């Protein structure tokens, strides 16, 4: 392929892959944190553009001014030392660096976590290969991959990992914080508008790193309260004989890794199932939570997310029974 065609293809891919909808980047902020980050980024971009344009203008001007007339091959005059020029091109970058430093420190102060208050949502985020466990420590709720927060609230977050280093990042709502085994990190976030915001594990953590997403629902206070009271309810009881059989399967086969108690204190290796079908996605927020997708998952998890630690062989009739029960878990 000719180099021109390669460049054209790359440009086209860039446009297609960047998508057309509102992209989940901090340049499209939905929180004061992302707003400060975007402001810093734009200011630095403007400074860089001004420097680039001025340098290019000088370069082109000198190239034109000092070129030899056609046919004249005289080598250019060699010049050594020019104190005025050398001081200028040292002082200007130093000044620019000081400006960058001051702007960065100001931004860091603007996005520093506010002091803890009784109204905060306290969230414990636990990174797993390859999904997120969310524990609302002052609400008694354990869930996975999907967060609900009320608009305007301060969410104080502690982060731990059970295996390797992950990084928690919802660009429109907050900065990025590494999730490190053996070390508890802290961050905070807040959202200024309701909506759904997508996050992504931002530290390479193995085969399915790309399929370790976060979906944040920023709710009105009323919607959030309704979500909380539903999540705090115990898992529903089976009614029909098939649901009862499915419940027994889940309590037997699944219970060693998954809990049906929404306030489970024990750390299980798999996501809490108490309100599974209140979520819109599963498997690291990468698959829509539909009966069909979940059937595929129970049939062969490795086909849908190779390398994940869930490996189980279930007969089709077992899958039917389990699904009959799981579907109740709204
Ligand atoms: Cu977890 Cu990348």
Residue 184, pLDDT score: 97
User: What's residue 278's pLDDT?
Assistant: 93
Q: What ligand 1 atom has the least distance to the C-alpha of 210?
A: 2
Name the band, by pLDDT with cuts 50, 70 and 90, for residue 59: very high
Q: What is the pLDDT of residue 246?
A: 87
Q: What's the half-sphere exposure (Cβ side, CA atoms, 13 Å) at 178?
A: 10
The pLDDT tens digits of the residues spanning 173-182 come to 999 999 999 9
Q: What are phi and psi of 222, to 5 degrees?
A: -65, -45
Q: Which atom of ligand 1 is the closest one to the Cα of 129?
A: 1
Q: Does pLDDT of 170 surpass 70? A: yes
Whole-number Å distance, alpha carbon 73 to ligand 1 midpoint, is: 60
Enumerate domains of the chain plus CATH numbers: 25-58+85-112 (no CATH), 121-224 (2.60.40.420), 241-326 (2.60.40.420)
Mean confidence (pLDDT) of the chain: 90
Name residue, tokens 């985020």: 125
Q: What is the pLDDT of residue 255?
A: 87
pLDDT bin (cut points 50, 70, 90) of residue 266 is confident
Atom number of ligand 1 nearest to Cα 206: 2
Give the confidence band of 21 by pLDDT, cuts at 50, 70, 90. low
Percent of the chain residues past pLDDT 70, beyond the cut: 93
Tell me how crowded residue 43 is: count the other CB atoms within 10 A of its CB. 14
Residue 300 has pLDDT above 80, yes or no: yes
Report which DSSP code applies to 59: H
pLDDT digits (tens, 9 = 90+) for 106-149: 999 999 999 999 999 999 999 999 999 999 999 999 999 999 99
What is the pLDDT averaged over residues 10-14?
60
Q: Distance, CA 132 to ligand 1 centroid (Å)?
A: 9
CA 179 to ligand 1: nearest atom:
1
pTM: 0.85
**Burial of 165 (C-beta count, 10 Å sphere; 0-12/13-18/19+):** middle
Amino acid 52: pLDDT: 97
pLDDT at 6 over 80: no
Find tokens 């992209």 and name the residue.
23
Statement: residue 4 has pLDDT above 60: no
List CB contacts of 101: < 8 A, sequence separation 6 or more: none
Question: How close is the Cα of 166 to the center of ligand 1, in Å?
Answer: 4
Please report the pLDDT score of residue 194 as a whole number.
96
Nearest CA to ligand 1 atom 1: 166
Calculate how far, in angstroms, residue 49's C-alpha sits from the geometric centre of ligand 1.
Answer: 34
Write the pLDDT tens digit of every residue in 194-237. Answer: 999 999 999 999 999 999 999 999 999 999 999 999 999 998 88
Pairing of strands 121-128, 131-136: antiparallel
Please write the tens of the pLDDT for every residue from 66-117: 888 888 888 888 888 899 999 999 999 999 999 999 999 999 999 999 999 9
How far is ligand 1, taken at its centre, from the CA of residue 79, in Å? 55
H helical segments located in the chain: 3-18, 32-65, 83-110, 221-232, 241-249, 291-299, 301-304, 316-326
What are the two backbone dihedrals, phi and then psi, of residue 157, each rounded to the nearest 5 degrees? -120, 135
Q: Give the atom of ligand 1 at the shortest distance from the alpha carbon of 204.
A: 2
Output the CA 307–ligand 1 centroid distance in Å: 13
CA atoms of 100 and 157, how far apart (whole Å): 29
Q: What is the pLDDT of residue 252?
A: 87
Which stretch of DSSP H or E encloses residue 214? Answer: strand 213-219
Tell me how far the alpha carbon of residue 65 lies from the centroid of ligand 1, in angstroms.
Answer: 54
Ligand 1 atom nearest the C-alpha of 164 is 1
Distance 285 CA to ligand 1 centre (A): 13
Q: Which residues line ligand 1 (CB under 6 A)?
A: 127, 130, 166, 201, 203-205, 209, 212
Are 284 and 214 contacting, i.e. CB atoms less than 8 angstroms apart? no
């Amino acid at each position: 392929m000719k180099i021109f065609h390669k460049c054209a293809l790359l440009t086209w891919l860039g446009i297609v892959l960047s998508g057309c909808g509102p992209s989940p980047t901090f340049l499209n902020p939905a929180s004061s944190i992302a707003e400060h980050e975007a402001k810093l980024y734009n200011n630095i971009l403007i400074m860089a553009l001004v420097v680039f344009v001025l340098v290019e203008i000088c370069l082109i001007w000198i190239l034109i001014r000092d070129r030899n007339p056609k046919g004249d091959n005289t080598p250019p005059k060699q010049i050594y030392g020019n104190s005025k020029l050398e001081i200028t091109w040292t002082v200007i970058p130093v000044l620019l660096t000081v400006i960058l430093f001051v702007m960065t420190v100001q931004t860091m102060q603007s996005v520093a976590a506010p002091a803890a208050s009784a109204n905060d949502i306290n969230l414990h985020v636990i990174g797993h290969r390859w999904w997120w466990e969310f524990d609302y420590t002052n609400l008694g709720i354990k869930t996975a991959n999907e967060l609900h927060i009320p608009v305007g609230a301060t969410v104080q977050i502690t982060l731990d990992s059970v295996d390797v280093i992950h990084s928690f990042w919802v660009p429109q709502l907050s900065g990025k914080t590494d999730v490190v085994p053996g070390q508890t990190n802290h961050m905070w976030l807040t959202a200024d508008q309701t909506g759904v915001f997508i996050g992504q594990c931002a530290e390479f953590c193995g085969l399915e790193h790309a399929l370790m997403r976060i979906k944040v629902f920023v709710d009105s206070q009323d919607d959030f309260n309704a979500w909380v009271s539903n999540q705090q309810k115990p898992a529903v009881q089976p009614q029909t004989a098939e649901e009862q059989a499915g419940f027994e399967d889940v309590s037997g086969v699944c219970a060693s890794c998954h809990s049906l108690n929404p306030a489970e204190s024990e750390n299980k290796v798999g996501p809490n199932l108490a309100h599974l079908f209140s979520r819109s996605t599963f498997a690291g927020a990468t698959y829509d939570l539909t009966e069909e997708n979940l059937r595929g998952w129970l049939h062969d998890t490795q086909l849908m997310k190779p390398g994940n630690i869930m490996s189980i062989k279930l007969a089709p009739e077992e899958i039917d029974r389990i699904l009959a029960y799981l579907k109740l878990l709204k």
